Structure 1
Amino acid sequence: ALGTALPNLKYFSEAFVATRHISEMIERVPDIDCDDNRGIIVALFSLHLQGRGLYYVDSEGGRLKGMCFSAGSGYAYAY
Structure 2
Amino acid sequence: MAREVTHEERGPAVLDDDDKGDDGLIFVCQCGLSDTKPLCDGSHKATADEEDGVVYKYADDDPDGERREVGELAAEGE
- TM-score by structure 1 length? 0.22
Higher strand share: 2
Give the TM-score of the pair, scaled to structure 2.
0.22
Q: Tell which has more relative contact order, 1 or 2 (C-alpha 8 A, sep 6+).
A: 2
Larger Rg: 1
